[in-house]
Structures are given as structure tokens and as C-alpha cells.
Amino acid sequence: MRTNTQDKTVSSSLVKALDLITSLVAHPGGLSYLQLSEQGNMPRTTVRRIVQTLVGYGLVIHEQGVVKLTENFHSWAAPDWNSLMKRRYRPVLERVAKEVNELVLVGAMSGDSVEHIDFVEADHLVQVAPALTWRLDARQTAMGKLCISRRRDLMSSITDPELKANLERIKRTGISWNRGVSDPGAISVAVSGLTTKPTEPVIAVAWPKQRFTEEAAERAIAAIQRAVAAELENPTIMGGLQ
């Protein structure tokens, strides 16, 4: 079905993308470019652009000539996405926290900021304070820079050469640092979560500066990677909820 887009207050590109997603929701087995073009009454070049964008976000896949919605799409479209991610990532956070005994957080992009979804605190007298109610400038945090590095649209908008080089390095390594920028008393490192898709949350460990060492950071990165791999191989009851 083609939606009327004559109203100039409406974004025609967005409407086309929504039309395409609506068609895919109605056809769980997927549709070809030709079928999407016919159903949406739009050129195949437009369909291809939309699909490639959605593939980049991890919301659809294009395999063997068929476009399908992904599991990631259904998670992203859930009525309470934050609660779903909190349940899914809690086992991972607990595994990491048990190994590193420092603040472990999971968070995701929201606009141009990062929001913390959940955390596990360390058993220390001096701790980094978690910030579930804060909206943090993505360019100043380990989690935020990792999220930006996975977004082609945001990467292309960065004009600062030093920041751009840092983001390119993060994109290559999958590891992002915040050495006292957003919080002068803390150091944090962030690593990808269960996937590297742009909509997927990321995981970070944070230390007070006086307790941080490079060796501790290496152990934390390895702990996150092990916990993610273990959850992907054997999802827990809570973590496996859809």
C-alpha cells in the first residue's frame, strides 16, 4: 500500500521507509527488491537505498535476493526496549562484575547522547557513581564514541580531525576509552555488546583514577568479551527473552 505523501510537512523519504518496513512486517518470509518496489510503488533504486540503510542499522538482512526483518528489528521495536535490554544484558553485566569488581554498565545511543540502561556496582569504599538519569554527550564518553563509530551518518558529520581519527581507530579496534573527559576522577573503557549493529547497546567498565591500571583494563576488556561470547553460546533464561 502506498501512503499519500503530498503533504509537504511530511518527510517523503521516511514515509517510503515506513511503507517498506510495513510490507516486510506483513511478509515474515521476506520480499525481493522487485516485490518491495511494486508494493511501495517506488523505483528499485529507492528500495535499494532504503534497504542498505536498514541493513547498516541491523534492522533487515538481504540474503539470496530476499529482504527480511531481523531479530534485532523486533527487539528495537519492542514497546519497552530499555527493559528488554536490561533483562538481556543483566547476566553479562553480572559475569563481568564478578571478574573485575568495578562498576560495569550497559548503555546505548539516544539522539546525540548516551543513556545508561543498567549497571552493577563494585564492592569498594571508593566507587565511580553510575549515572542512569544522566544524558551524556556521546563524543565525550567511551560508550558514546563506540556508538558513533558504528554510525556512518554520524561519522560523516564529524569535522574535528583529532576526534575523527580517534573514532576511526575505535571502529577498527572495537574498543573505546574515556580518560577523565566527562568525569575527571574516572577512567572507562567500552566494548561492543551482543552484536556490533548501530542499535545494539555497548558495555563499559569504569574505575576511579587512583585504582586504574592498564593491566586491569586489559583484564576488563577480556572479561567483557568472554561474557558476551558465553551469553551468545548459551543464553541464560533472562538473557534469552525476546
Q: Rounded mean pLDDT of 60-80?
A: 89
Q: Rounded mean pLDDT of 162-174?
A: 95
pLDDT tens-digit map of 205-232: 999 999 999 999 999 999 999 999 999 9
Q: Looking at domain 12-76, which of 1.10.10.10, 2.70.70.10, 3.30.360.10, 1.10.10.60 is its CATH number?
A: 1.10.10.10
When comparing pLDDT for 44 and 12, which is higher? Answer: 44
Phi and psi angles of residue 208, each rounded to the nearest 5 degrees, phi first:
-65, 145
**Res 116: pLDDT:** 87
Burial class (CB in 10 A: 0-12, 13-18, 19+), 127: middle
Q: Rounded mean pLDDT of 39-64?
A: 92
**Res 45: pLDDT:** 94
Every domain of the chain and the residues it spans: 12-76, 81-233
Class of 81-233 per CATH?
A: alpha beta
**Res 144: pLDDT:** 94
pLDDT tens-digit map of 85-142: 999 999 999 999 999 999 999 999 887 788 889 999 988 765 666 665 456 778 889 9
- First-last CA distance in the chain: 29
Question: Among 4, 78, 90, 75, which Cα is nearest to 41's?
Answer: 4
